[in-house]
Amino acid sequence: MSDELLDAHPTDVLELDELWSFVKARRHKVWTWIALCHRTRQIVAYVCGQRNDKTCTDLRCRIPTSYFNLATCSDYWSSYAEVFDPDTHRSVGKHTGLTNHVERFNATLRNRLGRFTRKTLSFSKKKENHEAVLHLFLLKYNQDMKDRWLTRHI
């Protein structure tokens, strides 16, 4: 996924958030954790798993090296404060607007992929299929964001 990412700048901020969907049955929730670059609107890293510190740590480990030490913003979910560097991480409320882009991306994801819609008959029977569909969507999304960013800034 990092092949499509634009270069990181020292002033970039990563917006972090998570959203739930399910595999096979509603009682089998799968949480998708996302790190989005505020400047480019590209998804820098993602991971699917439970809503806990371990999955949050997996997200942190998947952030590419050039983005790893950037400032981060998230909601008040305790895992973010536990896992991300307290010197560069801020937990903020929705009213601040500092996580607007990742929240907007979550809405886009729910709108474009039936598997992420809250009330749906579309769902994956296997977690591997769920993640494969998400991965393909993110590849296309990041390429579109890269193309859009380059046409506006060149």
* Confidence band, pLDDT 50/70/90 cuts, at residue 25: confident
Distances (CA, A) of 135 to 33, 82, 132, 146: 13, 27, 5, 16
How far, in Å, CA of 136 to CA of 108, rounded? Answer: 15
pLDDT for the residue numbered 93: 93
Q: What is the DSSP string of 17-51?
A: EEEEEEBSSTTSEEEEEEEEETTT--EEEEEEE-S
pLDDT for the residue numbered 124: 76
pLDDT for the residue numbered 118: 67
Strand partners, 49: 31
pLDDT at 122 over 70: no
pLDDT for the residue numbered 117: 75
The whole-model pTM stands at: 0.93
How far, in Å, CA of 1 to CA of 138, rounded? Answer: 8
Average pLDDT value for residue range 2-9: 90
Number of C-beta neighbours around residue 8 at 10 A: 20
CATH architecture of 2-152: 2-Layer Sandwich (3.30)
State in Å, rounded, how far the first CA of the chain is from the last one: 23
Q: What is the DSSP string of 64-125?
A: -GGGTTSEEEE-S-HHHHHHS-TTTEEE--GGG-TTHHHHHHHHHHHHH-GGG-SS-S--BS
For 37-87, the pLDDT digits (tens) are 999 999 999 999 999 999 999 999 999 999 999 999 999 999 999 999 999
Contact 30, 127 (CB under 8 A): yes
How far, in Å, CA of 144 to CA of 88, rounded? Answer: 29
